[in-house]
Structure 1
Amino acid sequence: MDTGKIYTLDNAPLRKFHFKILAYTIGGSLTDGYILGMIQFALIAFTADVGMNATWQGLITSSPLAGVFIGGIVFGDLSDKIGRQKIYSIDFLIIFVLSILQFFVNTAGTLFVLRLLLGICIGAEYAISPAIVAEFVPSRLRGRILTILCMVWTIGYVIAAYVGAWMQTLGTDSWRWMLSSSAVIAAIVLILRIGMPETPRWLILHGKIEEAKRVVAKHLGEDIDLEPTIREITSRKSSSKAKLSALFRKGQIKHTAFAAITWGVNVLPLYALLSFVPIILSALGIVDENTFYTLLLNGLYLLAGIIVLFIVDRFPRKTVTVWGMIVAIIPLLILGFWISAPAGVIVACFGIHVFGNQAFGTITAYIYPTESFPTELRTTGIGFCSAVSRIFACFGTFAMPIIITSFGIHVALIGIAVVVIIGLIVTLAWAPETGNKSIDEV
């Protein structure tokens, strides 16, 4: 440690504790992605074993998304009031218990309730994890670490796809092992989070300045000067009440609307396409034997996330978002208007769309919502935006098969492209530039 130089929270060198923060948060993202991704395979086995109609299939598939809506709003707001650390550990204890309970369900209604509760816990995770990263890590690393969170969520989703495909061979009760397997990851994350401190920015905001100094000295080093952060936060303390209505006050409402809409524009195509890969490919004339293309597209999302990790902090946030949206739009329009596109073109277009969606999704789902709100509203704002995004996701998963059946796959793909075009217009009009700035300055 270079004790001859004094740093601030925003320009501190990379320390061991920053890697611990990364471990705390990526474990949550990995589990979230795994829980949401596993249902696409578990539901097939569950239906064959227990038997249920299409209504229950839709309810169980969308129940975690509805839970995220509730959890994001409730626990985002609560975290700004009582602190990040308290909710953060309890959240994963509940996820661990709920994961195990899924092994013992025998009815569709019981599974629906458990998946809804898991979604509520995931909603809390969405709100709190990015805030913890933003409030601890230096500004030059913030975008990259938030990108890792997004990428790890994809890893969890992809792992679930591959594990679920393998567990299908375990027999009629395979769905029990699929759904409860998330308890293993949850237990590891729960252990990792033991002893995690409260963020110094939240402590400063609530007048616990000496405690904030002790946290920084113990975990980041005594060569970190907290005074600039204290001055920045306390200078706006008069507006430090964490209320949902504050997201819509003058000077904040445009940032709230932008962050919520663009996050929704990202997840609608994500869930609408990934949830129905076999149906979409079949409608386009491709038979997905042995779920090859389903697994391939899941893998492409992971590859795209790795690529985005290396470019996110090299270019302005708005630039990456705009070009990512353009790259996501073009292949959807090609497939929408090219009725008889050959299989190679179809797969290539989906691959290009995946990269574009991941590129702008990393910014709009993790970075912009985190950087669009001050400390006193950060988890409230992120929670609200994640809740709004689940409305988009629920609509996508609900409407996609209906639109394909009623109007055809080409109309459905053009419709998704129009949604992303709306996001592009909103981005061009409202997107701020927040890269490489102090989280307090932003």
Structure 2
Amino acid sequence: MKNPLKEWDDKKLSLFHIKTMLVAGAGTFVDGYDLTVGSLVLTIIEESQGINLESVSEILFLSVILGNFLGAIIFGYLAKHGRKKFYGIDAMLMTIGAVMQAFAYTPILLSVVRFLLGIGIGADYVLSPLVNAEYANKKDRGKLMAISGGLMWNLGALLSVITVLVLSTFLPSDLLWRISLALGSLPALIVIYARRKFPETPRYLLYIKGDLKSLNKFYDIKLTETPQSNVNWSILIIPLILASATWYLFDVSAYAGVFFGPNVIAKSIGVNGIIFELIVLTIFAIPGNVISAFFADRAGRKPLQTIGFLGMGVFIIAFAIIGSKLALPLYGIYSLMAQVGPGTIVGFWGVELFPTMIRSITSAITVMSGRLGVITTALLFPLIIHSYGVQSTLIVLGILSLIASALTLFLRETKDKSLDELELLREKV
């Protein structure tokens, strides 16, 4: 059977695509804000609550990441019963969780609230790239996913830096961390209504629901039969393992910088933590996202991720060994390479390599693998730094990035591949 959604897949980039990209990216923006702002106020909470670095790490990061894990599981399953139905509930959870942080007056309560926030973020990690890809046309899918993913994450992180920098000039420390964390609710609140206005995705309507009437109504696609989607796990297991492994290895390395860069790493090179984060984001990370978005549909996902991981490994090891005056530019180039490659691309594979029937599940599995990487970092990174020092820890992270670069070579390129053509190909296997 020929591609039944070819007409939609071949459409030129439109305002509809831009809107779905921005609405999808809003959740990623919130995640970037919430996780980065936590690292920026980490030492303030440490002093305010009278607890050590390891305990603050568990409260701010481990609790939210465990929530991510649970949110990915729950909403990965629920999305099989409709994308639109749950596309907004995740933003509502993020809004409630962020606001309640301002009123958490004990470490335990802050952990509980961050866990709730994490559930919403984990759900959005599954839903946003999934929905964005299923709305997208073939030619521009890579750039749409890149902008709504890695770029929006770092823009959220940048906003958190600016927010803390501004608020720190006139707020006492106890109010500073509470308000900074709570302000993450505003972008989440804005998109709750917007997400409810979009129709169900065309792929879900056709391949899962079989609703040809709605497909015609919302997308002007006239079909007389519904293709049968058969999942052949024998050809999907290895790609799923590879996709999950690369996301895991990326998050182990990347979130070490997110969590402790403004504090441990910046301090080790004598730079103010907030200024350090501002420089890295504006000069290196965000330009890396822009480069990735530009080349995702030209060079392809696989080359970008391979080169990105390779650059991460080389430059973080060089940063660890050379240090001194070259430390900031070396760490900056490491961040640039991360965003040119895996920081933008790792979320693509769980969506683009798998058929609609199980896409929410495979997206959830890859998200959970990434979250497991973050959990690994949150639990082990403070202990490893304390026992072996910053230099040895960064060399280990560099080696992991080189391993991930090699693993990426075994993934299948999805550039210029229609989600529908891949789906129909699997039906023939």
**Same topology, TM > 0.5:** yes
Q: 1:419 aligns with which of 384, 400, 423?
A: 400
Select 1:301's aligned residue among 285, 300, 303. 285
Q: Deviations over 1:128-174 (max 9, x none)?
A: 11111111110111000111012011110121122123223311322
Instruction: Name 1:282's counterpart in structure 2.
Output: 267
Where 2:417 maps in the other structure, the secondary structure is: coil
Match of 2:299 in 1: 315
Worse-superposed segment, 64-73 or 165-174: 165-174
Relative to structure 1, is the Cα distance of residues 287 and 134 closer, same or farther in structure 2, using a 3 angstrom cutoff? Answer: same
SS at match of 1:267: helix
1:226–1:156 Cα change, 3 Å: farther
Distance in 1 between residues matched to 2:390 and 2:102, nearest whole Å: 36
User: Does 1:325 pair with 2:309?
Assistant: yes
Cα deviations by residue, 1:384-428 (Å, 9 ceiling, x for unpaired): 111111111121233223222212222111100111122122112
Asked if 1:379 is matched to 2:379, the reply is: no
Give, in angstroms, the shift of residue 85 of structure 1.
0.8
For the Cα contact (< 8 Å) 1:288–1:294, is it kept in 2? no
Deviations, residues 32-62 of structure 1 (Å, cap 9, x unaligned): 2112221123333333334334453122122
Counterparts in 2 of 1:13 and 1:116: CA distance versus 1, 3 Å = same
Match of 2:212 in 1: 209
Superimposed CA distance per residue, residues 86-135 of structure 1 (whole angstroms, 9 cap, x where no aligned partner): 11112212222222222211111111011111111111101011111111
Alpha-carbon distance between aligned partners in 2 of 1:354 and 1:151, rounded to the nearest angstrom: 13
Q: Which runs of 5+ in 1 are unaligned?
A: 1-5, 218-223, 240-245
**1:19 corresponds to:** 18
Match of 1:235 in 2: 228
**Alpha-carbon distance in 2 for matches of 1:414, 1:16:** 45
- Rate the CA distance shift 1:225–1:91 in 2: closer, same or farther, 3 A: same
Residue 302 of structure 1: how far off its partner (Å): 1.5
- What is the aligned partner in structure 1 of residue 184 from structure 2? 182
How does 1:86-165 map onto structure 2 within 5 Å?
86-149=85-148, 150-165=150-165
Q: Is the 8 A contact 1:84 1:198 kept in 2?
A: yes
Q: Deviations over 1:51-86 (max 9, x none)?
A: 334453122122111111111122112112x11111
Q: What does residue 420 of structure 2 align with?
A: 440
Aligned counterparts of 1:334 and 1:123: Cα–Cα separation in 2? 33
3-state SS of the aligned residue for 2:88?
Answer: helix
Cα contact 2:40–2:274 (8 A) shared by 1: no
1:115/1:296 Cα in 2 relative to 1: closer, same or farther (>3 Å)?
Answer: same
User: Aligned partners of 1:431 and 1:118: how far apart in 2?
Assistant: 32
Distance 1:262 1:226, change over 3 A: farther
Q: Determine the structure 2 residue equivalent to 1:62.
A: 62
Contact 1:23 1:192 in 2 (8 A): no
TM-score (norm 2): 0.90
Partner of 1:220: none
Note closer, same or farther for the CA distance 1:107–1:353 as it changes in structure 2 (3 Å cut): same
Partner of 2:376: 395
Cα drift, residue 379 of structure 1: 1.4
Conserved 8 A contact 2:239-2:353: yes
Q: Secondary structure at the match of 1:287?
A: coil
Letter in 2 for 1:66: L
**Structure 1 residue 226: Cα displacement:** 5.4
Structure 1 letter corresponding to 2:310: I
8 A Cα contact 1:65 1:394, kept in partner:
yes
SS across alignment from 1:310: helix
| Aligned partners of 1:67 and 1:123 also within 8 Å | yes
When residues 407 and 38 of structure 1 are mapped into structure 2, their CA distance, relative to the original with a 3 A threshold, is same
Q: Secondary structure at the match of 1:36?
A: helix
Aligned-partner SS, 2:178:
helix
How many pairs were matched up? 411
TM-score relative to the length of structure 1: 0.88
C-alpha distance 289-94 of structure 1, shift in aligned 2 (>3 A): closer
Asked whether the equivalents of residues 36 and 258 of structure 2 are also in contact (C-alpha less than 8 Å), the reply is no
From 266, 281, 291, the equivalent of 2:250 is 266
Q: 1:419 to 1:46 in 2, by over 3 A?
A: same
- Runs of 4+ in structure 1 off by over 6 angstroms are none
Amino acid at match of 2:244: A
Aligned to 2:347: 366
Residue in 2 aligned with 1:292? 275
